[in-house]
Amino acid sequence: MVLGYFIGISSPYVSLTKISLPSNLVSSLAFGDDHRRPSIERFFPEHLVTPQIYVPTNPRGAESLPPRIVVPESDFYLRRLWGEPSKDLIKKPKYLVTFTVGLNQKDNIDAAAKKFSEDFQILLFHYDGRTSEWDEFEWSKRAVHISVRKQTKWWYAKRFLHPDVVAAYDYIFIWDEDLGVENFNAEKYALFPGCLSWYIRLVKRHGLEISQPGLEPNSGLTWQMTKRRDDREVHKNTDEKPGWCSNPRLPPCAAYSLTHSLLPVYNDLVHGWGLDFALRRCVEPAHEKIGVVDSQWIVHQFVPSLGSQGETENGKAPWEGVRERCTNEWAMFQDRLANADESYFVQHGKSRI
């Protein structure tokens, strides 16, 4: 050991340009004795010394890497296990659509998934742990499947739809499993193949950054803003019940959508209630960039699948416990946001107005 130490310090730079490893050693190390491989040559840098690099702007834990080797973003593109990486993707999906699903709604999801072409990467979040049964659908074999039992759409979104992962896509559709899509056509191409889908064309035309398809008026609406209108392509404001809107440019009369934006807030709140009222903080001016697409509409079928994922507690049915937490989280989110706002203004010596 002492001799090895002195040899090491006397030769700080080890020049190993090429090492040929015996096939039996390579096989036992990398593949096991049952999978023999021919002798391979591995090439190493001439100097096995870590260069002294420190880049504080790199992601935490990667400060010692040169910037050109650090990739700030990822994606859900599916790649092969063979061949040249540059040839993996014949066509890169432009858009991402996600569904939070249970197997009981597979036929409904099948109908919805078929509305999206290969321009869309499909991502399924499985809350019931059942994934292999979806292989009966051809599109499912090209989809990304993430399975964690008894979690909500918002729980998945905050963990798997990180901005650095979804940045590769022009638009993201985050959908529930109980939407009727007979009147929604994501792939209604206009005059020639290859142009943007009709829905996305409308979103671009009207300058919407956050949007949702209009909801069929007879499907049990909570807010008038989400109601489909049959006299226009898109609407960005509405009239509500007397006293509900303190400002016609604020929710629920404007700057409002049931779409849940990727707000990176509060990992312990999983239902997302109340976030639709905070979407206006993500774009400016919100009353111009948030809207509802009326000419492409859907039906909310109100399938109570989420409630069945709860548990009986204190004499309450599973769905009652889930609903109670939904309303409690809404109040908690409002309080936390108000307190965070107040703390910011106090810290910076600013007025709220």
**Higher model confidence: residue 2 or residue 305?**
305
For 218, counting Cβ atoms within 10 Å of its Cβ (0-12 exposed, 13-18 middle, 19+ buried), the class is: exposed
Pair (233, 346) in one structural domain: yes
Query: In the listed set 109, 142, 177, which residue is the last one of a domain according to the structure?
Result: 177
Q: Is the pLDDT of residue 255 over 90?
A: no
Q: Is the pLDDT of residue 36 over 80?
A: no
Pair (211, 326) in one structural domain: yes
* Among the ranges given (20-24, 37-41, 142-146), the one the predictor scored with the smallest mean pLDDT: 20-24
What SS3 state is found at 263? coil
**Higher model confidence: residue 341 or residue 36?**
341
Query: What integer pLDDT is reported at residue 13 of this predicted model?
Result: 43
Share of the chain above pLDDT 90, in %: 43
The confidence band for 40, taking pLDDT boundaries of 50, 70 and 90, is: low
Query: In the listed set 177, 203, 221, which residue is the last one of a domain according to the structure?
Result: 177
Write phi, then psi, for 43 (nearest 5 degrees): -110, 135
Whole domain around residue 294: which residue ranges? 191-352
* Among the ranges given (194-198, 215-219, 236-240), the one the predictor scored with the smallest mean pLDDT: 194-198
* Among the ranges given (32-41, 122-131, 155-164, 274-283), the one the predictor scored with the smallest mean pLDDT: 32-41
Query: What integer pLDDT is reported at residue 307 of this predicted model?
Result: 67
Q: Is the pLDDT of residue 35 over 60?
A: no
Give the mean model confidence (pLDDT) for residues 226-237. Answer: 92
Pair (153, 259) in one structural domain: no
Which range among 195-204, 226-235, 252-261, 299-308 has the greatest average pLDDT? Answer: 226-235
The confidence band for 45, taking pLDDT boundaries of 50, 70 and 90, is: low
CB 256 within 8 A of CB 223: yes
The confidence band for 18, taking pLDDT boundaries of 50, 70 and 90, is: very low
What is the rounded distance in angstroms from the CA atom of residue 219 to the CA atom of residue 272? Answer: 21
Q: Is the pLDDT of residue 205 over 60?
A: yes
Query: What integer pLDDT is reported at residue 66 of this predicted model?
Result: 93
Pair (103, 244) in one structural domain: no
Instruction: Find all residues with CB under 8 Å of 195, minimum gap 6, and list them.
Output: 189, 201
Query: What integer pLDDT is reported at residue 27 of this predicted model?
Result: 47
CB 185 within 8 A of CB 132: no
Cis peptide before 56 (omega within 30 of 0): no
**Higher model confidence: residue 251 or residue 311?**
251
Say if 42 falls within a structural domain: no
Query: What integer pLDDT is reported at residue 167 of this predicted model?
Result: 93
Query: In the listed set 108, 143, 177, which residue is the last one of a domain according to the structure?
Result: 177
Instruction: Find all residues with CB under 8 Å of 241, minimum gap 6, and list them.
Output: 224
Say if 94 falls within a structural domain: yes
Pair (261, 348) in one structural domain: yes
Pair (107, 246) in one structural domain: no
CB 75 within 8 A of CB 87: no
Q: Is the pLDDT of residue 99 over 70?
A: yes
**Higher model confidence: residue 276 or residue 167?**
167
Query: What integer pLDDT is reported at residue 21 of this predicted model?
Result: 47
* pLDDT (tens digit per residue) in 58-72: 988 999 999 999 888
Query: What integer pLDDT is reported at residue 234 of this predicted model?
Result: 94
Query: What integer pLDDT is reported at residue 76 of this predicted model?
Result: 94
Query: What integer pLDDT is reported at residue 223 of this predicted model?
Result: 83
Say if 241 falls within a structural domain: yes
When the pLDDT of each residue in the chain is averaged and rounded to a whole number, the result is: 82
* pLDDT (tens digit per residue) in 300-316: 887 767 767 777 888 88
Question: In the chain, how many domains are there?
Answer: 2
What letter does residue 152 receive in the DSSP assignment?
A: -
- Kindly report the pTM of this predicted structure: 0.78
The confidence band for 261, taking pLDDT boundaries of 50, 70 and 90, is: low
Instruction: Count other C-beta atoms under 10 Å from residue 176's C-beta.
Output: 21
Bridge pairing between strands 120-126 and 179-180: unpaired
Say if 25 falls within a structural domain: no
Say if 116 falls within a structural domain: yes
Pair (219, 336) in one structural domain: yes
Pair (284, 327) in one structural domain: yes
DSSP string across 91-150? S--SEEEEEEE-GGGHHHHHHHHTTS-TTEEEEEEESSS--GGGGGSTGGGGSEEEE-TT
- Token pair 């889930």: residue: 322
Give the mean model confidence (pLDDT) for residues 146-162. Answer: 93
